[in-house]
Structure 1
Amino acid sequence: MINCAIVGLGRWGRALVEAAQNEPRLRITSAVEPDSSGAADFCAAHGLFPATSLEDVLAAPEIDAVLLATPHSLHKAQVIAAAAAGKQVFCEKPLALRRDDAAEMFAACRKAGVLLAVGHNRRFWPSMRALRAVTAGGELGTILHIEGHNSNENSQTVTQGWRLSPQESPGGGLTGAGLHVLDGFVSLLGPVRQVYARLSAREAGPPPLDTATLAIEFVNGVSATLATIRATPFYWRVHVFGTKGSAEVLDEVTMVLRKSGEAPATTRYPAVDTLAAELTAFADAVEGKQPFPVPEADVLATLTAFEAALQSMQSGHPIACHMACQ
């Protein structure tokens, strides 16, 4: 049994608590939440002890791991403190906004001999798993291009807080929604060489009306385009184009395969609880059964490209990824 504390009981933290009920090896016993009165009913309903602070949780010998569902600006200090206390760490994305900060966190956990798992739940979508398999298997031939889009109208209901802050959520929808696609790209094609990005802001809001668009070149020569809009209904698309065909993911269970001279073939996979799946992967990694399927190299490559995109939005010019973190 892996005894855990949840840090942050906002919408996503509560979703993690619910999902953990489907993984019997994880037992969330306590919670750290600044709005203790607002979380009191939830804690009572789920048998969570309301801890006073993260420091109290880290000092508790019975706690084996912490699940961080906090604003990313808090992650670095929290992850390093958890590592120093010998606690396993699961941290929601984005781990950081800077590649070097993320590298420090991984180094601290490695030195302490604990795991740092980053929660990119879209990697666990059955459709994205299938897309990685068909891309790596050579069925599409030589990969030439990839397109992606993630929009999420949740911003329509956000009128205050860190998600609207340019410092906490720079790049329009890129931090919240677009980063999922960027991580998906990296999982399929590896590191990025160059990014040319533009943020088109119509109204500051709230809710903000803006679009973020990226033109990307990967180290392996594949080109890409990515777009994200904060104020339109949810939409997801990742489409890989190769010399022998293309494969397009439209949601968490649907993939369309297209080949010359053949009708498009649509496959729908059985749905899974992706949050439970990533927590199961976390438990497997803690127990040493297999590595967590979001490797450090991918996290750092995604954040390197993210930094380059932000710099490009500011400068109006393409940014080479080897320059973005200097």
Structure 2
Amino acid sequence: MINCAIAGLGRWGRALVEAISNEPRLRIVAAVEPDIASAERFRATHGLAPTASLDAVLADPAVDAVLLATPHSLHKTQVIAAAAAGKQVFCEKPLALRRDDAAEMFAACRSAGVVLAVGHNRRFWPSMQALRAVVAGGELGTILHVEGHNSNENSQAVTQGWRLSSEESPGGGLTGAGLHVLDGFVSLLGPARQVYARLNTREAGPPPLDTATLAIEFVNGVSGTLATIRATPFYWRVHLFGTKGSAEVLDEVTMVLRKSGEAPATMRYPAVDTLTAELSAFADAVEGRRPFPMPEADVLATLAAFEAALQSMQIGHPVNCHLACQ
């Protein structure tokens, strides 16, 4: 049994608690939440012992791992402190707002001999796993272009707090929703070389009325576009175009395959609980069964492109990813 403490009992922290109940190797034994009143009913319902601070959790020898569902700006300090205390770490995305900060976190965990798992749950979507298999199998020929979109109506319910902060969640919807697509791109195509991004803002909200658009050039020569909007209903699309056909993922379980001379084929896959799946992968990594399927190189490449996009939004020109991270 891996005894875990969770820091952060907001919407996503609560979702992790619910998901972990389906993974028998993990058990939540403590919860850290500054806003005690807001989480009291949830904590009591799930039998979570309240803890005054993350420091108290890290000093507790009964705690083996920490799950971080905290504001992004806190991740670096918290991850490095957890590593120093010998705790395994699961941290929600984005791991950091700067690529170099993330690199420091990985280095700290590597030196301490503990796992650092980053919660990009859409990597576990059956449709995205199928898309990666299609690309790896060469069915689409030479990949030329990728298009992606993620809108997330959850933002309509966010009327206050750190998720609306331009410091905590810069780039409009890019930090919360668009980063999922950017990570999907990296998992399929590898690192980006250059990003040209724009953020169009109409009203500060809430809900915020902004759109973020990115034009991306990948190191392997593939071009890409990405858009994300916070105020419209949920929509997901990742569409790869190759010399022999295209493959388009439309949701968690649906992929449309189009090949030259053939009618489009719509594939549907059995749904899975992706939060439980990523937490099970974390348990596997902690137990030494297999590495967590979100390699450090992918995390850093995603954040390099993210950081370049934020810089491009500010200066109005394309930014090379390696330059944004110096």
Range into which the TM-score falls when normalised by the shorter chain: over 0.9
TM-score normalised to structure 1 length: 0.99
**Counterpart for residue 232 of structure 2:** 232
Counterparts in 2 of 1:29-178, with a 5 A limit? 29-178=29-178
Point out where structure 2 has 5 or more consecutive residues left out of the alignment.
Answer: none
TM-score normalised to structure 2 length: 0.99
Question: Aligned with 2:260: secondary structure?
Answer: coil
In structure 2, how many angstroms separate the alpha carbons of the residues matched to 1:33 and 1:163?
16
Counterparts in 2 of 1:298-313, with a 5 A limit? 298-313=298-313
**Counterpart for residue 267 of structure 1:** 267
Deviates more, 1:149-158 or 1:86-95: 149-158
Displacement of 1:14 after TM fit? 0.6
In structure 2, how many angstroms separate the alpha carbons of the residues matched to 1:281 and 1:155?
28
Aligned residue identity for 1:206: P
Question: Aligned with 1:130: secondary structure?
Answer: helix
Displacement of 1:38 after TM fit? 2.1
Structure 1 residues 42-80: Cα deviation after superposition (integer angstroms, max 9, x where no partner): 122212111111111101101000000001111011001
Deviates more, 1:14-23 or 1:200-209: 200-209
Aligned residue identity for 2:323: M
Displacement of 1:158 after TM fit? 1.6
Deviates more, 1:43-52 or 1:58-67: 43-52
User: Is 1:203 the equivalent of 2:208?
Assistant: no
Displacement of 1:318 after TM fit? 0.5
Displacement of 1:206 after TM fit? 1.8
**Counterpart for residue 22 of structure 2:** 22
Displacement of 1:37 after TM fit? 2.2
Identity %: 86
Question: Aligned with 2:29: secondary structure?
Answer: strand
Displacement of 1:310 after TM fit? 0.6
User: Is 1:319 the equivalent of 2:319?
Assistant: yes
Point out where structure 1 has 5 or more consecutive residues left out of the alignment.
Answer: none
Q: Runs ≥4 in structure 1, deviation > 6 angstroms?
A: none
In structure 2, how many angstroms separate the alpha carbons of the residues matched to 1:105 and 1:96?
9
In structure 1, how many angstroms separate the alpha carbons of the residues matched to 2:142 and 2:115?
35
How large is the Cα RMSD of the aligned pairs?
0.7
Question: Aligned with 2:210: secondary structure?
Answer: strand
Displacement of 1:204 after TM fit? 1.6
Q: How many residues are paired up?
A: 326
Aligned residue identity for 2:106: F
Structure 1 residues 92-144: Cα deviation after superposition (integer angstroms, max 9, x where no partner): 00111000110011011011110100000000000000000001110110000
**Counterpart for residue 284 of structure 1:** 284
Aligned residue identity for 2:68: L
